[in-house]
Amino acid sequence: MRYSEFMSDDKKELDALKAKLGLISAKDIASKPETGHTRPRPQTHGTSEPKEGGLLSSAMAQQLRARLGLNTESAPSASPPPDTHPDATATPIETVVDGACVGDETSSFFCMRKHYPLDYLIGDIPLSAALKCTGKEIALSACDDTLLGFDSKRACFMDTETTGLAGGTGTVAFLVGMGYFSETSFVLEQCFLRDYDDEPAMLEYLAERLADVATVVSYNGKSFDLPLLRTRFVQHRTPFPLEGAGHYDLVHAVRRVWKKRLQNCSLGNIEKEVLGLRRHGDVPGFLIPQLWLNYLDTRDARPLAPVFYHHEMDILSLVALAGHLTQVLSAKDGASLRHAEDQLSVVRLYFKNKQYEEAIAEAQRFLDASRIPDALRRECFALLGQACKRAGHFEDMAGTWTQMHEEFPGDPFAAAELAKYREHQQRDYAAAILICKETLAILEAEGMPGDFSVSALRGRLARLERKQARLTEKYGDNDSFLTRD
C-alpha cells in the first residue's frame, strides 16, 4: 500500500472518531472571538452510542465523553462565568478612542488621527518651535553631519508601544505613532493592533506613509523602536521603508546637554525639568504591555485610554524637545541656558564636534561669568586649553594653562600641560621642573591620593630631571643651554 493511501485511510478513521465524539480541531477554533460573539461550541451527540464496528466500544466511548465533559446530562456550559464572559465587559476600541478602522474586509487595523494647531503648547514650548529647527543645530546635538540637511517638514516623529523590551522576533509593536507637519497643523496618527492578525494591514499602511520620510525623530529609537519595526517588516517579507532615512535620536542629544545637571534623562523627567510639562491621567510605561495583553483576553478597551494618552504625549514631547534644543543651541551668548552645568555642556558639545573656534568662544564666555563652581571652572579651563591647542592657538593655550595653574596650583593636569609647554615650546626645563615640584608638593601636603594624573606628573618630573642632568653633564653649569626664551 502506498504511503499516501495509508495516510488517507488513517485520516478517514480520525475524522469518523471526531464526528462521533463531537470534537473539533484546533485549526477550526478562531484565535479570538469577534466583539459580541462567543467561541464556537462543539457539536455533541448526546448519549447516542457509536455504531457497530466503530473504533471504540460503547463503554469506552461513554467514558471518554464523560472525561471530556461531552455528556448531555453533565455537560458544562460553554460560556465562562458571568464575571469573565467575553461579552460581559467587552468595549470596542472605537468607543474609547476617536478613530476608525483602516483596511478591507480581509485585513484591517484601528487608527486614531488628530490635528494640533501649531501654537499648541507642550509645557512652555509650542509645537511650531520644531519648524525652526535647522540642520546646523540638529547635526551639532546629534554629532552627526549627515543631518545637516534636516528639514522639519520631511521629518516623522515616531514612537512605539510594544509587548516587551527584549526585542527579537517575539516582540510586537501593538501601537505605532507617527507625527508630521502639514501646511497648517501638526498631524498625529496612532496605529493600533486589535489583535495579532491586524499587523499585516498596519505594516502595509506604514510602508506607504513612511515612504517619503527623510528623517526619523525618536527617543532611544536607534536602539529599540526602529530595529523592532525592521524585524516586523522582515518577518512579513515587506521592505523596510526607513532603510535609507536619517535618524535623529533625541536621547543622545539630550544627554549631551542636560545629563551633567539632571542625571536622569528619561523622557518623563526631561519633560518636567526642561519643557515644564506635567502630565495628567498618564499610566506608567512598564504597565502598558500587560494592559494590551489584558485587552486581548477581555476585549475591554477602557483601560487603554491612558495608554493612548501616554503614547500621544511621548510623540508631542519629541516635537517640542527638538524645537527647544534648537533654540538653546542657536541662542546668542547662551542666553537661554540658566544653569552653569548646561552652559558647560554646550562647550563640551562644540569640542566633541571639533568646532574648536566655537568651543573657545563659549568657554571664554563661560569663564567670564561669576559664581561658577570651582569644579566646573577647572573643567572649562581644560576644554579651553585643549581647544586652543587643536586650533593651533598656542599662545592662547599657554595663557589658559598659566591661568589655570595660578587658580588651581594643585591641579596635576594643568601643571602637566604647562610643563609640556615650557619644555617643548620654550625649552625652559628649569621652569618645567619647578612647576611639577610645586604641584606635587601641594598634593602631598594635602594628603591627596595619587591617581593616574599624579603618577604621570611624577613621571614627567623624573624625566625632566634626567634630561637636565644630561645637559648639565654635557655643557656644565651654563644656564643658556638649560633655558631658552
Q: Tell whether 77 and 105 lie within a shared domain.
A: no
Burial class (CB within 10 angstroms; exposed 0-12, middle 13-18, buried 19+) of 238: middle
167: in domain? yes
Of 84, 113, 139, which marks where a domain is finished?
84
Residue ranges in the chain modelled with pLDDT below 50: 1-7, 27, 29-54, 72-86, 481, 484-485
182: in domain? yes
Query: Could you give the 3-state DSSP secondary structure of residue 276?
Result: coil
354: in domain? no
Q: How many other C-beta atoms are found inside a 10 Å radius of the C-beta of residue 327?
A: 15
115 beta partners: 187
68: in domain? yes
Q: Identify the pLDDT of residue 4.
A: 46
Are 314 and 234 spatial neighbours (Cβ–Cβ below 8 Å)?
Answer: no
Question: Which residues 6+ apart lie within 8 Å of 461 measured at CB?
Answer: 433, 436, 437, 440
Burial class (CB within 10 angstroms; exposed 0-12, middle 13-18, buried 19+) of 92: middle
199: in domain? yes
Residue given cell 512605539 in the structure block: 160
Question: Which residues 6+ apart lie within 8 Å of 129 measured at CB?
Answer: 320, 322, 323, 324, 326, 327
DSSP sequence for 381-396:
HHHHHHHHHHHT-HHH
pTM for the whole structure: 0.77
* The three grid cell numbers given for residue 215, joined into one nine-digit string: 528623517
* The three grid cell numbers given for residue 425, joined into one nine-digit string: 615650546
Task: Give residue 476's region: left, alpha or beta (phi > 0; psi -120 to 50).
Answer: left
Strand order in the sheet with 99-103: 99-103, 108-117, 185-192, 173-181, 155-162, 215-218, 246-249
Are 231 and 199 spatial neighbours (Cβ–Cβ below 8 Å)?
Answer: no
Q: Tell whether 58 and 105 lie within a shared domain.
A: no
Cα(221)–Cα(481) distance, integer angstroms:
61
Of 62, 84, 106, which marks where a domain is finished?
84
Alpha helix stretches (DSSP H) within 275-428: 288-298, 305-330, 340-352, 356-368, 374-391, 394-407, 412-420
Cα(134)–Cα(453) distance, integer angstroms:
41
Q: How many other C-beta atoms are found inside a 10 Å radius of the C-beta of residue 163?
A: 17
Cα(156)–Cα(321) distance, integer angstroms:
14
Cα(49)–Cα(13) distance, integer angstroms:
17
Q: Tell whether 166 and 192 lie within a shared domain.
A: yes
Query: Could you give the 3-state DSSP secondary structure of residue 181?
Result: strand
* The three grid cell numbers given for residue 36, joined into one nine-digit string: 459580541
DSSP-derived secondary structure letter, 335: T
387: in domain? no
Closest to 176 measured CA to CA, from 292, 282, 312, 297: 312
Of 84, 110, 131, which marks where a domain is finished?
84
Furthest-apart CA pair in the chain: how many Å? Answer: 126
Q: Tell whether 323 and 417 lie within a shared domain.
A: no
252: in domain? yes
100 backbone dihedrals φ, ψ, rounded to 5°: -150, 165
Q: Are strands 99-103 and 215-218 parallel, antiparallel or unpaired?
A: unpaired
Residue ranges making up the domain that contains 285: 93-330
Q: Tell whether 42 and 117 lie within a shared domain.
A: no
Q: Tell whether 281 and 223 lie within a shared domain.
A: yes
Q: Tell whether 242 and 217 lie within a shared domain.
A: yes
pLDDT tens, residue by residue, 140-186: 999 999 999 999 999 999 999 999 877 677 899 999 999 999 999 99
Cα(458)–Cα(479) distance, integer angstroms:
24
Cα(320)–Cα(124) distance, integer angstroms:
9
Helix (H) / strand (E) element for 109: namely strand 108-117
pLDDT tens, residue by residue, 209-238: 999 999 999 999 999 999 999 999 999 999
Q: Tell whether 101 and 207 lie within a shared domain.
A: yes
Cα(256)–Cα(352) distance, integer angstroms:
10
Q: Tell whether 151 and 70 lie within a shared domain.
A: no
348: in domain? no
160 beta partners: 176
Cα(252)–Cα(258) distance, integer angstroms:
10
Q: Tell whether 164 and 284 lie within a shared domain.
A: yes
Q: Tell whether 189 and 208 lie within a shared domain.
A: yes
The structural domain count of the chain equals 3
Q: Tell whether 265 and 288 lie within a shared domain.
A: yes
Q: Give the up-direction half-sphere exposure of residue 461: CA atoms within 13 A in the CB hemisphere.
A: 17
140: CATH = 3.30.420.10
Burial class (CB within 10 angstroms; exposed 0-12, middle 13-18, buried 19+) of 183: exposed
Terminal alpha carbon distance of the chain? 107
Q: Identify the pLDDT of residue 62.
A: 67
Closest to 152 measured CA to CA, from 171, 179, 173, 130: 130
Q: How many other C-beta atoms are found inside a 10 Å radius of the C-beta of residue 72?
A: 11
Are 120 and 127 spatial neighbours (Cβ–Cβ below 8 Å)?
Answer: yes
DSSP-derived secondary structure letter, 38: P
Helix (H) / strand (E) element for 157: namely strand 155-162
Closest to 102 measured CA to CA, from 189, 2, 229: 189
